[in-house]
Amino acid sequence: MIKVQDSSQGVTFAVKVHPRAKKNAITGELGDALKVSLTTPPVEGRANEACTEFFANLLKVPRSSVTIASGQASRNKVIRVAGVSREYVIDRLRG
């Protein structure tokens, strides 16, 4: 299972992004990170926007609650979600 951590700024977890995929989906786990496929290319920040939008929809939170804490220019990213509990995030990622 991936490592989901609580902090004062929100809940964080690691993802490995695969851009230019056929569909937006969680495709598995790689170590302690989620593997996420996104249809958008990694050009001009579009994949980052798609990533935050994907997790906002999945976790049913406002898009402004989801940020990329680190890894803006990398496939390996840390996602931060504000205003939710660690248990809620784990539940939604499993479901």
Query: Beta-strand (E) ranges in 3-95?
Result: 4-7, 10-18, 25-30, 33-37, 66-70, 76-81
CA distance 65 to 55: 10
Domain that holds residue 8: 4-94
Q: Do 23 and 39 contact (CB within 8 A), yes or no?
A: yes
Specify the CATH number for the domain of residue 11. 3.30.1200.10
CA distance 44 to 62: 22
Side-chain-facing half-sphere of 57: CA atoms under 13 Å:
9
Number of domains in the chain: 1
pTM, full prediction? 0.95
pLDDT tens-digit readout, 28-84:
999 999 999 999 999 999 999 999 999 999 999 999 999 999 999 999 999 999 999
**Lookup: tokens for 13:** 């977890």
pLDDT tens-digit readout, 83-94:
999 999 999 998
